[in-house]
Structures are given as structure tokens and as C-alpha cells.
Amino acid sequence: MNVIISGGGTGGHIYPAIAIANELKAIDPATEILFVGAEGKMEMEKVPRAGYRIEGLPVVGIKRELTLDNLAFPLKLGRSLLRARQIVSRFQPDVAVGVGGYASGPTLLAASLAGVPTLIQEQNSYAGLTNKVLARWAKRICVAYPGMDAFFDADKIRLTGNPVRSDIQFADQQAEAGRALFGLNSGRPTLLIIGGSQGARTINESIEAGIRRFIDAGIQVIWQTGPAFIERAQAAVTATGSALVKAYDFIYDIDKAYGVADVVVSRAGALSVSELCLVGRPAILVPFPAAAEDHQTKNAMALVERSAALLVRDQEARQQLITTTLDLFANPARQQQLRTEIKTLARPNAAREIAEEVRKLAGM
């Protein structure tokens, strides 16, 4: 079986795609998988690191503000469609899978035009524009939240949850390895801060301003800043003179980071929310307000309404995030309630269920 998997742009699209690919290979190692991404985007580095081939398209997105860059959009889209058709013709996929992101549009359209069955994986509680367009031709749509028939044909929908890396399911077994990796003390509480693969400016600036309060409370901090903020974060850590705070631009061993975390501060991207449900960590979510259709707030509210997470709005983070986090550390009963409720929302077999849907479309 030959499978194309297309999409990317952020870790929230890339890692579910890799999880699906890994599951397909686990079921049948003879499965051939080709990724198609957008040139210059992070999938062009992350996918080969995971051991898969990837080809790039020159596709770009339309910026919301009026810019000269938007004038190049039709030309690059046309070139991307042409290249996608060439890739489909050469690779001869049995199924094409789209996970969202710029590249999935031309790739799945080219596959559909060639008569290849397509599957869409929609991670968010509010469907993205690309997936809403592609749904017209898709044979199957795998979703993570109920109620997605507001966007898609109900007959095509399968509620599978979001696939995450298989090693995250075993995060609880990685606490000792995590402490060794990050240089942590087993007797101190630990905070994990993850603003997404590119970092989160509001979260970063809030932590930077209040970092001394965590140190004074004896809390260890693992801080994923994203590449744009790492120098500022490292300067802030150095200025404290404390070894309790560890700043990283990106954490590859995220299973070990979850393994040592007592509390997590995070954006509310679909992948982050799914990971938090699976590892069962008390979470304070700070949704990115500029996400399309404010979908991160919708993702967060799906947990908050179940008493499975706390919410701090982006515009209030600088005033409230540090205090809310310290209050949660001081309240073990609340931590336990959040752990219990968030784990009820986990869907640990998502990758396997999606892989099986892919195989059904291929007649396997």
C-alpha cells in the first residue's frame, strides 16, 4: 500500500501526521509512505528526522492583512497544484491523507482529481478552512471533537481523537529519565511550560516577568520558549542566578518533560490538548487569540467546561498567569481533580483507528 500524507506548518499538524505514519508501518511494515509539505516550513526538517521521505511544494498561505506577498499566492498555488499532480502520478498512492496546513490543499485536490480516495484528519473543535474545502471530495473525515457535523457530512465523520506520538502514552514511566535529562531534583515540584513548537510570546513574557516568584516558591521550571525567545529567556534565567529554571528553544523528548511535570502551562492547540489528556497533567491553558476562528479558545473550553483544565485568557496572562499557577501548586486537591477529569477525555487509540480507516479506503 502506498500512502501520501500531506500538511504541516506547525507541530500540531506534523506530529499527528507522523503518528499516523508510524501506526501504518506498525500494522504493515511494507507500507510505503511519502510526506508532502510546504517548502521552508518546519515539516521539511521534522519529518526526515522521524525517518520519512518528504517532498515540498511552493505553496504559501494568504495573509489576513493586505500585503504584496498575497500577490504571489495565485502563482504559487498554481505551481503547487502542478507539482502535486506530478507527485501523485509518480508515487501512485492508494490513499492520500490530509492533516491540515498549506500543503494539504493542493495535494489532496490533486489526489482527488486522479481518483485517489482521500481522508482528512481535523484536529480542532472548529474546522479549518482548508479542510472545509477538501471535505467535499473526502471519503472519510476523522475528528477529535463531537459535534463536527456542523462543518462536515455526518456520514463521512469518524470520531477518533487526535493521534499523538506513541511514547507520550508512557510518560509516567519516564520520570526518572526526565529528571536526569533536565537536571532536576526529585524532591521539588516541577512546572512545564510549552507554548507550541514556535513558542508563545505572551506566555514567555509573563514567565520572564515572574520567574523569581517560582524560584522563591522552590518550583523547578522546564521552559520551552520557541526559537525567537530563547536568548531573552536564557538571559532572564542567568540573571536569577538559580539552577531551578531550564530554558530550551524546543524539547524533542517531550515524553520525559511530561513525565516529570506536576503542572503544565500551555497554549490550547489541538495536539497539546490531546497530549495533556493522555498524560493526565493538571493544565493551565492560555489560548492563542489570533488562531483561525479563535479555535484554541474553543479547544480549551471543551476541557474547562468539564472541570478538566484551567483557563487564563491571553490578554490577562501578564496579570494572572503566575498567580494562577502558584495557586494551583498550593492546592493538591485541585490538582488531583484536574488530573482525574482530563484523563477521562483521552483517546489513546486515535492513531490506530485512523490508520485502520486509511487501510479500509485502500481496500485492505
User: What CA–CA distance (Å, rounded) separates 227 from 306?
Assistant: 34
Question: What pairs with residue 220 in β-bridges?
Answer: 190
Binding residues: 10-12, 124, 165, 197, 251, 270-275, 296
Spell 201-228 as b/e; 16+ CB within 10 A means b.
Answer: ebbbebbbebbeebbebebbbbbbbbee
Helix (H, G, I), strand (E, B) or coil at 56: strand
Closest CA to 247 of 167, 198, 182, 151: 182
Count each helix (H run) and each strand (E run) in the chain, helices first: 14, 13
Binding residues for UDP-N-acetyl-alpha-D-glucosamine: 10-12, 124, 165, 197, 251, 270-275, 296
Cβ proximity of 33 and 124 under 8 Å: no
* Torsion sign across C-alpha atoms 31, 34, 35, 36: negative
Task: Retrieve residue 44's grid coordinates.
Answer: 521539511
Sequential DSSP letters for 255-272 = HHHHHH-SEEEE---HHH
Residue 105 Cα distances to 5, 14, 96, 138, 149, angstroms: 12, 15, 11, 12, 21
